[in-house]
Amino acid sequence: MATYTWTLQGTSPTTIDATDIIQFAGAGGFDTAITVGSYNDTTHVESSVGANDSSGNTPNNNKFISQTGGTAGDSQADWGDGTEDIDQITDAECALKINFAHSPAVAITNHILYAYNGSSTTTGPTEVDFRVAESGDANFTEAEGSAAGVTVGDSASATSHDFFFIISASPTTVGEKTAFKIRDELTYT
């Protein structure tokens, strides 16, 4: 049987359940706004009834800084230590961890992660710039819609597969962005 577990990493992990919301927020913390054109200063897990599920877990935050401003054109982000090239991040510093487990062992291929508008997977989120990179990538992908998803490396046969992602988002207009979901697709054989 297969299990899919999403986690917002931090001092302690917060499991992201299917009905939960990954909340990208401003420097003021949970439920605070991000200025248009800026990227998230904090990241949280919000329950379906609006509770701060990651309160007390000191969740990680990954903030997009530049697409090619780093060494040799690497992307840059701030994950709490100032601006760094994203290929320097450790798995533990990534905000999002996705575990896929299956017994017996399976290999993972055709793995992509992207944001969409909540109704059509081919359409990007509404009025949001979404950047994502797998841990180890040199550059961010603007993963908006399934065709633009970040390509995740294949994983050789195992019963438990961990994938780590740097995720960051920016509003392009004012107001809460709800036409914005993140989807992970993979093939296991």
Partner 1 sequence: MKANTKYTVAELITEAGYKPEDVVGKVRVRIGGIPVNDPAKVITFQPEVKKVEVIVGTEAVELEVEGVEKVHTISEGARASLDAEGVETSKQVEAMQKAKAEANKTDEEEIS
Binding site for partner 1 (CB under 8 A): 67-68, 72-75, 87, 90-91, 105-107, 109, 135-142, 144, 148, 151, 153-162, 164, 172, 189
Of the pair 46, 134, the CB lying nearest partner 1 is at: 134
Question: Smallest distance from the beta carbon of 20 to partner 1, in angstroms?
Answer: 26
Question: Smallest distance from the beta carbon of 138 to partner 1, in angstroms?
Answer: 3
Of the pair 44, 111, the CB lying nearest partner 1 is at: 111
Question: Smallest distance from the beta carbon of 134 to partner 1, in angstroms?
Answer: 9
Of the pair 30, 164, the CB lying nearest partner 1 is at: 164
The helix (run of H) or strand (run of E) holding residue 152 is strand 150-152
**Block residue for tokens 């081919």:** 122
Of the pair 91, 185, the CB lying nearest partner 1 is at: 91
CA quadruple 117, 83, 93, 8: dihedral positive or negative?
negative
Question: Smallest distance from the beta carbon of 111 to partner 1, in angstroms?
Answer: 10
Distances (CA, A) of 116 to 27, 77, 147: 25, 22, 10
Residue 95 identity: A
Question: Smallest distance from the beta carbon of 2 to partner 1, in angstroms?
Answer: 15
CA nearest 174: which of 30, 43, 26? 26
CA nearest 89: which of 151, 154, 140, 29? 140
Of the pair 39, 164, the CB lying nearest partner 1 is at: 164
Q: Please enumerate in sequence order all residues whose Cβ is within 8 A of that of 88, keeping only pairs 6 or more positions apart, or say none.
A: none
